[in-house]
């Protein structure tokens, strides 16, 4: 069994690392305005992405993307995550953010929604979470009731990232509540300027972003704005969320590696009571635990990516990636912050932002406990 990356992926990984080290890390405090790239840096980074061959990296070849598999994307995500110079959500240096579910669109919907997003002319948001339905979409209360050639949507969505900047939302709604997530949820494309759509709140978070609450009150949309067949919404979402969970794992690898490298260097330089920190066994054990956990997580993430590229069922592997790697990275960042002491709390270092980011990721896009619950179901079903 060969655990090494193919030569072309090693070259890709090295090229992205060099770019990050030279062009991004030295300027990482200058690039962001909240959770948005400043225009001048967006232009520079996007030019760099095109030169590196990662522009529109997540876009299928048929829509103008480079046709990269999951493992090549993993090595890129991992290297980019070593800097705080990019927002963790939304638009990135690799082009406009495109929810993968949009690639399932055909005909008129493709022309109206997908292609303008790819061209950077429109932005979208994904609206699934509700006040009483986060990790359990089957308890969703937002409904879409068929009325002739239309659907009428009523409900509330909460903690929806970038809703205030979106031109349209991909809304998950119950079309048959008796079926829950097993055929009772459908996905709809809803223009944000449709009568009855209102943003009623913004929630300031520790990450600096402000997800929104959206109210849908008797919102009437054409039936043709449904994505796929009725009841397929949850299935569509789960199909694409697997990639996102592996992406979470890859980003966690980059975060942990950057913080560990910083802590190792600092431990050699910082002298207390006549000795460098690196000679203290307590510090050595923290560094070793971090290194071993990072190495373990990388094997899990790379394996899941390889299996997905091979067309295997990776639903459970993706849950493992998300839960294991995000928890690993939080522990590593926290140890590194402890090694730096008071300096680790300051904004002079990226560690405090990485800490906030990883604390957030242990909850967002699938809490660790939910990931473990699904893995447990899989194990118990096998036995």
The encoded tokens of residue 329 equal: 């990275």
**DSSP letter, residue 5:** P
Residues 105, 305: Cα–Cα separation, whole Å: 25
Burial level of 266, CB count in 10 A (0-12/13-18/19+)?
Answer: buried
Show the tokens assigned to 323. 């839960």
Residues catalogued as catalytic: 365
d(CA 48, CA 94): 9
Q: State both tokens at 265.
A: 């260097």
| 318, 320, 326, 329: CA torsion to nearest 10 | -120
Q: How many angstroms separate the CA atoms of 162 and 176, rounded?
A: 28
User: Which DSSP category does 81 fall into?
Assistant: T
Q: Are residues 360 and 298 in contact, defined by beta-carbon separation less than 8 angstroms?
A: no
Contact of 153 with 143, CB cutoff 8 Å? yes
Beta-carbon count within 10 A of 359 CB: 16
Using the structure block, give the residue that is written with the tokens 């993968």: 100
Q: Which residue in 277, 268, 264, 248 sits closest to 332, CA to CA?
A: 264
Please give the helix or strand (H or E) that residue 141 lies within, else none. none
CA angle in degrees (0–180, nearest 5) for 262-267-269: 100
């Amino acid at each position: 069994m060969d655990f090494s990356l193919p030569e072309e992926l090693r070259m890709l990984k090295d090229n992205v690392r060099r770019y990050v080290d030279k062009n991004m890390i030295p300027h990482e405090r200058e690039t962001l305005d909240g959770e948005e790239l400043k225009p001048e840096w967006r232009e520079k980074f996007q030019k760099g992405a095109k030169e590196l061959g990662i522009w529109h990296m997540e876009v299928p070849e048929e829509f103008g993307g480079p046709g990269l598999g999951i493992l090549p994307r993993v090595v890129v995500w991992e290297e980019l995550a070593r800097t705080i110079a990019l927002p963790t959500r939304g638009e990135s240096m690799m082009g406009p953010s495109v929810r993968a579910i949009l690639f399932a669109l055909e005909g008129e919907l493709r022309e109206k929604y997908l292609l303008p997003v790819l061209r950077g002319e429109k932005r979208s948001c994904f609206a699934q979470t509700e006040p009483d339905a986060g990790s359990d979409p089957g308890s969703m209360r937002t409904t879409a009731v068929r009325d002739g050639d239309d659907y009428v949507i009523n409900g509330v969505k909460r903690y929806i990232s970038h809703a205030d900047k979106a031109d349209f939302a991909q809304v998950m709604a119950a079309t048959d509540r008796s079926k829950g997530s097993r055929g009772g949820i459908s996905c709809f494309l809803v223009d944000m300027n449709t009568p009855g759509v209102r943003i009623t709140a913004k929630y300031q978070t520790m990450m600096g972003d402000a997800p929104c609450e959206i109210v849908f009150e008797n919102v009437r949309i054409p039936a043709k704005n449904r994505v796929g067949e009725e009841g397929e919404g949850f299935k569509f979402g789960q199909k694409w969320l697997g990639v996102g969970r592996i992406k979470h794992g890859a980003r966690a690898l980059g975060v942990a590696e950057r913080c560990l490298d910083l802590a190792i260097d600092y431990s050699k330089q910082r002298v207390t009571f006549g000795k460098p920190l690196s000679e203290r066994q307590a510090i050595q054990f923290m560094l070793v635990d971090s290194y071993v956990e990072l190495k373990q997580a990388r094997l899990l993430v790379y394996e899941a990516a390889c299996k997905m590229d091979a067309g295997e069922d990776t639903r459970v592997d993706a849950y493992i990636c998300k839960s294991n790697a995000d928890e690993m990275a939080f522990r590593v960042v926290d140890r590194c912050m402890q090694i730096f002491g008071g300096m680790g709390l300051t904004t002079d270092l990226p560690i405090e932002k990485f800490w906030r980011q990883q604390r957030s990721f242990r909850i967002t896009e699938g809490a660790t406990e939910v990931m473990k619950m699904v893995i447990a179901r899989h194990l118990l079903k096998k036995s």
